[in-house]
Chain A
Amino acid sequence: MTSNKQDERIRQVSFLGRLLSRPELGAVAGTILVFVFFAIVAGGSGLFSAKGIINFLEVSAQLGILAAPVTLLMIAGEFDLSVGSMIGFAGIAIAIPAVFWGWPIWASIIFAFVLCGSIGALNGLAVVKTGLPSFIVTLGSLFMLRGLTLGITRGVTGRTQVSGIHQLAANDPLNSLFSGQVFSGFISFLSDLGLVAKRSDGLPSITGIPVSITWWIILTLVCTWLLTRTRFGNWTFAAGGEANAARNLGVPVARTKITLFVMTALAATLFAAIQVLVTGSADTLRGTQKEFEAIIAVVIGGTLLTGGYGSAIGAMFGALIFGVVQMGIFYTGIDTDWFKLFMGAMMVIAVLFNSYVRNRAMRSR
């Protein structure tokens, strides 16, 4: 160690050994497992046709949009249980101004982003200032936001649902950002090559890639870049790994955490904007349990529940598993009641596996 000669305690770590110490490993292995399982069980059911793939990717994408920033927040050692309620709240924050106050859709969407971002900042401030566990603080926000959503919606509209967004959004400049499809030309090109099946009327079975999938990929890449390639990412790891050490070294731990709470709130708003514009309506119960689904995806993705370690790419695979299993169960005709049992078990197994991988990572080199 003190001279230049080879340290006798270093052993050559194989490529496989290095691979085995990545946080994403559990999620990648799980993805392969799930794909193989459903290829055998549901191979002929159309799950892996172009249409089926788009279906499960869309489910994964919705969850993945939440999971990417939630990963960062969890690496920083905090939970945001208010994400699900935030989706319901944001949906209403888009729908009510648009439908009842006559605002253009783009203005309502910007309004929702600003409003929900501020609530995210309040969540963060409350956690940082009180020093209470974020689990408790955001559990409070979970209920408060849901109650607020219900109260406001019923107060303004007399109902719990707001519809009629489709007509209003038809010509809105922001509409195509959150609904519709991209790469339509590319898909029809693929179908001309015979790579994407055509329907009986000669049109491709899918007409493009839903924009949510693009958001999912972009958000995952941005979060990965932030985490691994920026100062902010370094602070995020440090805030969750050893907050006191970070503070002593001048890392603005509080600011980092508040920023991350804003990011999860904005992701929930993005989720809501996509949902509202795709379905044309907002409902006070939207997003229920999404906070837990996001945590499951993140944890399957190899992020440590206590913070300091994790990967946004891993969460992407976690979300992918979620989508494949959900749609796979649907396609195989198994009662969808079994889905939650499967996901819950999957998460526990993933946690066991990931803690094994992490212990390895701390020893192997």
Chain B
Amino acid sequence: MSTPLIELKSVSKYFGSVIALKDVTFDVLPGEVHCLLGDNGAGKSTLIKTLSGVHTPDAGEIFVGGKSMRFGSPRETLNNGIATVYQDLALVPLMSVARNFFLGREPQRGVWPLQQFDIDYANATAYRELRDMGIELRDPEQPVGTLSGGERQCLAIARAIHFGAKVLILDEPTSALGVHQASIVLKLIVQSKARGIGVIFISHNVHHAYVVGDRFTILKRGRSVGTHSVNEISRDQLLNLMAGGKELVDLEAEIERLKHAKPGV
């Protein structure tokens, strides 16, 4: 078995008296999609921020490539090949696709003081990288604001991969998207996996997660309620685990009763 790209061992995080994470163990292997599932307030955001170096854990350890690490900043995490694509995507809508793709890491040519942003290279590279991932751009100079939600998500992911991400942390990449748009993103996740990238897919949508996931970890009230591999758990079981089986059954019964209630009674 290969070494996990990143591994959390019994990690806890407290904010004052609030226990945001307690004894969470989580890892991702190369070429694997590990889904992190949980309802609102389950601690997903805290876990992402711990993985990406925004928070340092109060207890427990983080291993990167088998070595114990302590990240001081998100930049440091990024330099270790762990890229987080947040929901805001860090895109500038009024700027072109290519300019967004290289924002903060612009290719340059020429010598100072006549050093230029190599726009031709940027256009060509952004176009090629996105095409390789199955996104056919109309024009690399079109503003990001003209892209669809799915295309924007893909642009952010493609950018992270291009700049050497070995681990991709995707925060709810499909939650705001329609069916077709979400499928484009899911396809890109599978492609990233095929490239040997470890994907941490955070979602509360079991249907999306189940399509691409290899393993699933369910968080509930800051604790992990278990990690399951895709061939040992069904979609419904997963859904039950996530929502808390009994609560969901009760809810369904309640809805069923309301549906059959006579109007006016």
- Which residues of A pack against B, CB within 8 Å? 1-4, 7, 10, 228-231, 233-235, 237-238, 241-242, 244-246, 248-251, 304, 308-309, 361-363, 365
Contacts and interface: CB of A to CB of B under 8 A. Distances in A.
Nearest to B187: A2
Contacts of A229: 116-117, 119
B143 A249 contact: no
A311 B102 CA distance: 21
Interface stretch (B18-26, B130-138, B169-177): B130-138
Contact of B134 (A2, A242, A245, A365): A2
Interface string B100-133: 0011111010000001110100000000000000
Contact of A1 (B74, B75, B90, B135): B135
Interface in B47-98: 74-75, 86, 88-95
Contacts of B138: 7, 10, 365
B236 interface: no
A305 to B, nearest CB: 13
Interface of B: 74-75, 86, 88-95, 99, 102-106, 108, 115-117, 119, 134-136, 138-139, 142-143, 145-146, 151, 184, 187
Given A231-B117, A242-B92, A308-B94, A4 B103 contact: no
14 contacts: A2-B134, A2-B184, A229-B116, A235-B104, A237-B92, A237-B94, A237-B95, A246-B92, A246-B103, A248-B90, A249-B90, A308-B92, A362-B94, A362-B143
Contact of A234 (B74, B106, B139): B106
Given A1-B136, A230-B116, A365-B139, A245 B91 contact: yes
A233 B99 CA distance: 10
A245 B152 CA distance: 13
A238 B103 CA distance: 8
A238 B136 CA distance: 24
A241 B92 contact: yes
A249 B136 contact: no
A23 B93 CA distance: 16
B115 A242 contact: no
